[in-house]
Amino acid sequence: MLATDPGDAFLRYAMAMEYVKVGDLDQAVAEFQRLIADHPAYVAAYFMGGRALRDRGDKSAAHQMWIQGIAKAREINDPHAASEMSEELSLLE
């Protein structure tokens, strides 16, 4: 499906989550980053992308992704997403 519609944000997110599920965090991060580049308001990508970065051992990049995600969530008035990423940040430090 993604080959037919590579711009579909949900399909890109689902692909990234499948990579997380099978433990391919490098591919997952690449998919989350592509999703963010193409659909910057898709705040779940920042949340889960940050987790994938954290889980692969890149805490600095996870921190940065969550900071960007919090800013975007606030920009689009999604306080729940901002709160979830703020919680992840507090646990990271």
CATH assignment of the domain containing 78: 1.25.40.10
To the question of pTM greater than 0.85 for the whole model, the response is yes
User: Which residue range is the domain that position 65 belongs to?
Assistant: 9-92
User: How do residues 38-67 score in pLDDT, each as one tens digit?
Assistant: 999 999 999 999 999 999 999 999 999 999
* Burial class (CB within 10 angstroms; exposed 0-12, middle 13-18, buried 19+) of 87: exposed
Is 1 a residue whose pLDDT tops 70? no
Domain count, the chain: 1
* pLDDT tens, residue by residue, 12-36: 999 999 999 999 999 999 999 999 9
Q: Is residue 3 part of a domain?
A: no
Q: Let me know if residue 71 belongs to a domain.
A: yes
Alpha helices in 23-78 (DSSP H): 25-38, 43-55, 59-75
